[in-house]
């Protein structure tokens, strides 16, 4: 599995600690440094079964500058949201785990990390 993290994020550090405690095999992607492409974001969204606005951190300063809270949340706006996530990766909710079974999940809780471990 792979986990997208921001090392400054407490939820990310907690997820890594749990993965380590369970001796899970995983790779870390520091997505602020190794920024996912629009296609990678679309792939993760498909694995998550979510839309881009579902994983957008709308409280971030850049989100406010862009006015994302006012953006339409429909199929016609999907590309705009994905492009914003690729151009401003700090908007991506974290951590995201891509599981070995082809699924993914936003792992902000211990239960979500354990769910990823069971896949």
Q: Write out the catalytic residue numbers.
A: 9
Helix or strand (DSSP H, E) at 17: helix 10-21
Token match 């380590």: residue? 20
CA angle at residue 25 from 93 to 116, to 5 degrees?
45
8 Å CB contact between 107 and 10: no
Q: Could you count the other beta carbons within 10 Å of the beta carbon of residue 119?
A: 14
């Amino acid at each position: 599995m792979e986990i997208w993290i921001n090392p400054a994020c407490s939820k990310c550090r907690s997820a890594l600690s749990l993965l380590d405690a369970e001796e899970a095999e995983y790779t870390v992607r520091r997505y602020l440094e190794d920024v996912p492409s629009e296609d990678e974001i679309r792939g993760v969204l498909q694995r998550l079964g979510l839309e881009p606005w579902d994983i957008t951190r709308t409280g971030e300063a850049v989100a406010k500058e862009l006015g994302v809270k006012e953006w339409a949340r429909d199929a016609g706006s999907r590309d705009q949201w994905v492009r914003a996530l690729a151009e401003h990766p700090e908007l991506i909710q974290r951590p995201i785990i891509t599981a070995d079974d082809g699924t993914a999940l936003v792992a902000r809780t211990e239960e979500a990390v354990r769910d990823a471990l069971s896949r």
